[in-house]
């Protein structure tokens, strides 16, 4: 599995390098207080990287942290003396005919 991950990473790096080489046109980035020039490929790859990081943070804040909090609460309830081994399931309704 680790070898597959390394091969996929190498593939993405090679594709990124090819993309940057094919899009070498200069682009001026103006940040109001500073101005610099980068190639179009680098600008696009940086924008994609920033988007991936922000998307990962959104998933972390919206999914992972709430699930970790719920797991922590469940573990603390399970460690209390006299706590049931499993929470009771909600009642099932018979299927409609």
DSSP alpha helices (H): ranges in 23-95?
Answer: 40-59, 65-79
Q: Distance of alpha carbon 84 from its chain centroid, rounded? A: 35
State how far the Cα of 54 lies from the Cα of 56, in Å rounded to an integer.
5
| pLDDT computed for residue 87 by the predictor | 67
pLDDT at 57: 95
Q: Decide if 82 is inside a domain.
A: no
In a domain, 68, yes or no: no
Domain limits for position 53: 2-63
Whether residue 34 lies inside any domain: the answer is yes
Q: Are 23 and 40 in contact (CB under 8 A)?
A: yes
In a domain, 74, yes or no: no
Would you say residue 81 lies in a domain? no
Residue 41 belongs to a domain = yes
Distance CA 40, CA 24 (A): 6
Q: Is residue 69 part of a domain?
A: no
Residues present in the chain in total: 97
Average pLDDT over the chain reads 87
- Report pLDDT digits (tens) over 38-57: 999 889 888 988 999 999 99
Number of domains in the chain: 1
Report the pLDDT value the prediction gives residue 84, as an integer from 0 to 100: 65
């Amino acid at each position: 599995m680790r070898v597959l991950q390394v091969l996929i990473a190498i593939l993405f790096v090679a594709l990124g390098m090819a993309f940057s080489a094919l899009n070498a046109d200069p682009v001026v980035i103006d940040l109001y207080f500073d101005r610099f020039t980068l190639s179009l490929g680098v600008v696009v790859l940086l924008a994609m990287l920033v988007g991936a990081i922000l998307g990962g943070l959104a998933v972390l804040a919206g999914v992972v942290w709430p699930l970790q909090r719920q797991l922590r609460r469940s573990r603390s309830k399970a460690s209390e003396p006299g706590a049931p081994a499993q929470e009771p399931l909600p009642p099932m309704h018979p299927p409609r005919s």
